[in-house]
Amino acid sequence: MVHLEHVSVRAGAATLVDDVSIDVTAGSWCTIIGPNGAGKTTLVSVMAGLRPVAHGVVRVDDCHLAELSERERARLIAYVPQHPEVPVGMTVEDYVGLGRVAFHGVLRAPSARDRDVVAGVLERLDLVTFRRRDATSLSGGERQRMVLARALVQSTKVVILDEPITGLDVRHQIDILELLKTEVVQCGLTVIATLHDLTLAGTFADRLILLSRGAVAKDGSAYDVIRSRELASSYGMTLRVVNVDGSDVVVPVRGDGAALGDDLA
């Protein structure tokens, strides 16, 4: 579904993403992990078609991303940035409705079908009671559900999320990830997300891609990647995996192993 072939991204002399090739299959959940500055946000913005590549090709659903118009791309990929901008004075319903602009355009009002899709997603994500509220008045968890709703009303095959649970408490983190998992399982959605929480990344994703200094350091099942030597090496510290009631928990070990910045732990 999402296919990257030898993709490199540069900013001046710096290489932010270095020769990355990834193939994400339809209806799966792929999470990109890695330390700060590894190039996760750059990589997902390339996948969303928002950043040009220096080399390589990005294809989504067999379409060459660089050849698509913004409108065509928005019907194929929904993107949730790390810090979504929520305009003052816009209602939750209007904010979520922005996700249908690629369908009705900017010169026409939303059609009955657009309104139905918005109403359906508001219901599914339990946002109906907030729909007339000012979007900026919502709590962190409600706001993140609203942003996710905006992405889902785009009715795309792929949703790309950059740190979708940043700043949320553990309950709301699980709520958001469960909602996404339901969409993957029930609707066949392809999810590509970046996450800092390695335990949650391993729990929800079908596949983990470890990014280090712009390159893929490890790519595989959650079980393999969180136990890999490359994971500890990328973070420059010792990480222990503990199994609790059948779930793997990644625990950083304080003062043990290499200091931050070392290549090996």
Partner 1 sequence: MVVLVIAVLCGLVIGPTSISTWHIVGNALSHVGVGHSTLTPLQSLIIWQVRAPRMVLGLVAGAMLAVAGSTFQGVFRNPLADPYLLGVAAGAGLGATLAIVNIGGGNAVPTWTPLLAFVGAMVSVALTWLIGGRSLRSTPTTLVLAGVAVSALFTSAQTYLQQESSSQSIARVYIWLLGSLASASWSSIVLIVPYVAVCVAVCVLAGRALDVMSVGDDEARSLGLSVRTLRLVVVTAASLGTAAVVSAVGLIGFVGIIVPHIIRLLVGTSYRRILPLSVVFGAAFLVLCDTVARTVIAPSELPLGVVTAVIGAPVFVVILSARRLGTS
Q: Which of residues 93-152 bind partner 1 (CB under 8 A)?
A: 94, 98-99, 101-102, 106-107
Q: Which of residues 32-51 bind partner 1 (CB under 8 A)?
A: 45, 48-50
| CA-closest candidate to residue 233, choices 248, 217, 220 | 217
Integer Cα distance of 82 and 48 in angstroms: 13
| CA-closest candidate to residue 163, choices 41, 9, 25, 248 | 41
Figure out which of the listed residues 27, 35, 56, 84 binds partner 1, where binding follows CB under 8 A.
84
Strand partners, 242: 249
Other beta carbons within 10 angstroms of residue 161's beta carbon come to 26
Smallest separation (angstroms) from partner 1 to the CB of 95: 8
Per CB under 8 A, 196 contacts partner 1: no
Integer Cα distance of 70 and 58 in angstroms: 15
Buried b (16+ CB within 10 A) or exposed e, 171-200: ebbbbbbebbbebbeeeebbbbbbbebbbb
Smallest separation (angstroms) from partner 1 to the CB of 29: 20
Per CB under 8 A, 88 contacts partner 1: yes
Per CB under 8 A, 195 contacts partner 1: no
Stretch that binds partner 1, among 86-94, 172-180, 192-200, 213-221 (CB under 8 A): 86-94
Query: Which residues would be at the binding site for partner 1 (CB under 8 A)?
Result: 45, 48-50, 52, 69-71, 73-75, 77-79, 81, 84-90, 94, 98-99, 101-102, 106-107, 154
